[in-house]
Amino acid sequence: MANYDIRPLQLHILNILLAVDKVCREHDLRYYLWAGTMLGAVRHGGFIPWDDDMDICMPRPDYDRLMAHAHEWLPAPYEAVSAETDPLYPGPFGKIQDSSTTLIERAHINYIGGLYIDVFPLDGVPQQSWKQRLQFSHYEIQKRIIYFLHRDPFKHGHGPSSWIPLLCQWLTSNAAVQRRLRNIMTRYSFDDCTLVADYDDGMNGICDKSVLGRPTPIEFEGKTLMGVEHADTYLTQKYGDYMVVPPHDHQRQHNFFYLDYNLPYREYDDKRVFMKQDT
């Protein structure tokens, strides 16, 4: 469990989502509360008590519009970061972050940003199961390469465990892998497919587009946000008996490496040794 009070963090990232919600309403963009955030809205009327992040998803056309225009639509200090906005970005999906804060999620990853909410693009999925397995296996391979590109290669020492990260960092670039990831995810159009997925959720996250329906108002921490229209179907598919609170040892948190609510991340002096070697 986290070694810090997560309630201030929850309220901080809620403000980020409220800013995103306002932008989406103003520019007619679809978004849905997603994963644990949608579960929290239904089961708790807000955050799952131990949850320290927020997730939304957007159909690919809306996601791309947000990433393309976030710099003009989002109020300071909020900003979009993704493969589309930052050539060094280490993930396959985007975030909206608060640039007036500093957050290092994991000590061994060479990326620094601010407190954030996750924004997952929803893409089409083929009907045939063998094509689905092919799609998601290709995605997972490229996602793993991205991880090795940004990981301290000597996290586990200078022996064989460092060889794969070092080889990836020698053979390819972040930009090249991000292009491959996007090509995989957008191979099947969201608009033309019956089945869709947040690819980061794996094959278990495949759902019929009709389950999403129209973004549907739902209360979250006393605010009205947009959720999945057929929430029971979505949550049952993802979590099973989702109204049952899991035991303490299954209540997952990030336990971030470094968090500062008052320091802009661009002003943070990173003293991690492998970061200094990279510069």
pLDDT tens, residue by residue, 135-146: 999 999 999 999
Q: Specify if 202 maps to a domain.
A: yes
Q: Specify if 105 maps to a domain.
A: yes
Question: What's the number of domains the chain is made of?
Answer: 1
Chain-centre distance for alpha carbon 176: 20
Q: Quickly tell me which residue has 């975030």 as its tokens.
A: 95
Q: Specify if 276 maps to a domain.
A: no
For 207-243, give the secondary structure using H, E and C: EEHHHHCCCEEEEECCEEEEECCCHHHHHHHHHCCCC
pLDDT tens, residue by residue, 64-103: 999 999 999 999 999 999 999 998 899 999 999 999 999 9
pLDDT above 60: residue 278 = no
Dihedral of alpha carbons 80, 21, 10, 244, sign:
negative
pLDDT above 50: residue 279 = no
Q: Specify if 278 maps to a domain.
A: no
Q: Specify if 274 maps to a domain.
A: no
For residue 148, count other CB atoms closer than 10 A to its CB. 16
pTM given for the model: 0.93
Beta strands in the chain (DSSP E): 32-33, 55-59, 78-81, 94-98, 102-104, 116-125, 195-197, 207-208, 216-220, 223-227, 258-260
Domain range for 166 is 6-269
Q: Specify if 277 maps to a domain.
A: no
Q: Specify if 143 maps to a domain.
A: yes
pLDDT tens, residue by residue, 18-74: 999 999 999 999 999 999 999 999 999 999 999 999 999 999 999 999 999 999 999
